[in-house]
A = this chain, B = another copy of it.
Amino acid sequence: MSFNSFGHLFRVTTWGESHGPALGATVDGVPPGIAIDEPAIQYWLDRRKPGQSRFTTQRREADAVRILSGVFEGQTTGTPVQLMIENTDQRSKDYSDIRDKFRPGHAAITYWQKYGIRDYRGGGRSSARETAARVAAGGLARAVLADLAPGVEIRGYLVRIGPHAIDRERFDRDEIENNPFWSPDRRAAEIWADYLDGLRKSGNSVGAIVEVTARGVPAGLGAPVYAKLDTDLAAAMMSINAVKGVEIGEGMNAARLTGEDNADEIFMGNDGRPVYSSNHAGGILGGISTGQEIVVRFAVKPTSSILRPRRTITMAGEATEIVTKGRHDPCVGIRAVPVGEAMMACVLLDHLLLHRGQVGGEIGHTRGRIG
């Protein structure tokens, strides 16, 4: 990862601010001959779009994506794909309240300190709007994956909002699309709805944990020792706004386990591939995929844009209080689900290409055979 780019071969550079004319993603290294058009990418953007339930910001953005390059007659050409999203909802507004104050927990102060520039209109480059560009790039990555590795299935969902976690016993994959929280546990979704209604009324916000999984990933993706698959996934997820922790498989809980408990025992599957008694590893050993389900979790902190007054300072260094009005998400973790999926898609595709480059062979076959 380098400034505003990530990926080794499938390389995504996002650009743009929350209140500028447009934002987007410049995607380089796309394989040629992949069928793609704007609706196919728009589909994924619409899932992230704000204002789809009362639990997300009411800011109205069309988030309509345009493909400006790299696609000809419905196919990728192998050259850079420029995905642009114009900002349409830049309502003129009175910033006098906040333009001189730093919001606690917000990047405005560090951006100011680093660059000496204050974009008082909104988060600028640090805004969660940047993630729209990631979702667009992820939509493209998914189209390529569908062609090269059609068995890969990426699925994200929320597993915790504030004090309320899902019950893994009630996990139902089919439930995820049926509620505004991408919750795999219908009961948790009900609890979260009540909880967030209360929180919103009190002008507060709350954190969440997102889990993103990928099935059907071939064994062998990832590379020692700094381009490990888990290393790149950790970087990808940690780069999302407001993320403070990333876990693979057992994650932080691995610290509590013994070697005996943590070992995923190995057996021979009927299809001639290894199968495992468990998946503490989250599908990754030594930084390389095992062929099991990849499991990543990340924690999203509560947004700093709240109606509760907090003590802070002005740009002149004077003590003051701040209250952030406006249309903000009480739980930004909800809209982080499609973003986490997009990052998973980009990282997996990148490693698929990287592996193909170094090791060769047909996708899905391993160089070392067992049995």
Contacts and interface: CB of A to CB of B under 8 A. Distances in A.
A72 to B, nearest CB: 5
A146 interface: no
A80 B15 contact: yes
Interface string A238-275: 11010011111111111111111111111110001010
Nearest to A78: B115
A56 interface: no
Nearest to A367: B116
A183 interface: no
A276 B304 CA distance: 15
A302 B3 contact: no
Contact of A302 (B106, B262, B287, B310): B262
Contact of A206 (B117, B258, B281, B363): B258
A143 interface: no
Q: Interface size class for chain A?
A: 35 or more
A28 B302 CA distance: 29
A88 interface: no
A42 interface: no
B285 A107 contact: yes
A166 to B, nearest CB: 12
The complex is assembled from copies of this chain, and their number is 4
Given A3-B28, A4-B80, A208-B255, A285 B238 contact: no
A68 interface: yes
A156 interface: no
A33 to B, nearest CB: 6
Interface in A207-259: 207-209, 219-228, 230-232, 234-235, 237-239, 241, 244-259
Nearest to A131: B225
A313 B276 CA distance: 10
A124 B108 CA distance: 41
A26 B13 contact: yes
Contacts of A257: 162, 206-207, 301-302
A155 to B, nearest CB: 19
A-B pairs, top 9 by smallest CB distance, nearest first, are A107-B286, A317-B371, A357-B357, A205-B259, A110-B288, A116-B367, A245-B251, A259-B302, A15-B80
15 contacts: A1-B231, A13-B80, A32-B116, A32-B117, A33-B117, A33-B367, A105-B280, A106-B286, A204-B259, A238-B248, A241-B286, A245-B247, A247-B252, A254-B302, A257-B302
